Structure formats: structure tokens, C-alpha cells
Amino acid sequence: MVLALSISSVMMYGAALIAIGIGLRLFVSQRRFNRRGYGGAQHYSTYWSAIFISTFEGILMIASALAIVSGIFLLVVELFNNR
């Protein structure tokens, strides 16, 4: 018996959310890596830029985690719905 999976819009949204979440994580991680110095500490030009950038990147990391979890949830729901 062959299990044929048709790609529905829910699966495409789930895959898109996972891709967006992974892309956001890679974007933030690359920015953090590029700010590192020889000792491994992140270097900022001013105190306020450090506060703003770390808060913004933290919010992006939370949003990416939510996108990944939501995408996985949509894929699982669609797989169970097609059974």
C-alpha cells in the first residue's frame, strides 16, 4: 500500500513557518557572531544600542521559536487529519 501525500495549503503554511523561523534564527546568530571580539564578548558602540539590539534580537528569537513550533504543529495536524 502506497501512502500518497497531497500537498495542501496547511502543509505549505507549516513549511513556510518553519523556514521563516530557521531563517530568523540564522539571521540573529550571524549578527551575534559578527559582533564578537577576540575574547568572545559582544561589542557595541554605546550602552543604548546594546540594550536596543539585545532586546530586539531576543524578541526575534522568541518569534522564530513560535514560528517553528507553529509550523510543526500545522504539519502534525495536517498529517493526522489526512489519516
pLDDT, one tens digit per residue, over 13-39 is 999 999 999 999 999 999 999 999 999
Is residue 61, in this structure, part of any structural domain at all? yes
Find the DSSP H helices in 4-46: 9-34
Q: How many residues does the chain have?
A: 83
Q: Domain tally for the chain?
A: 1
- Residue 69 inside a domain? The answer is yes
Is the overall model pTM greater than 0.75, yes or no? yes
- Cα-to-chain-centroid distance, residue 48: 26
Per-residue model confidence as pLDDT tens digits over 47-73: 999 999 999 999 999 999 999 999 999
Q: Is residue 60 part of a domain?
A: yes
Query: Does 3 reside within a domain?
Result: no
- Domain-embedded: residue 42: no
| Domain interval for residue 27 | 9-34+49-81
The set of residues, in sequence order, having a beta carbon less than 8 Å from that of 16 and lying 6+ positions away, is 71
In a domain, 71, yes or no: yes
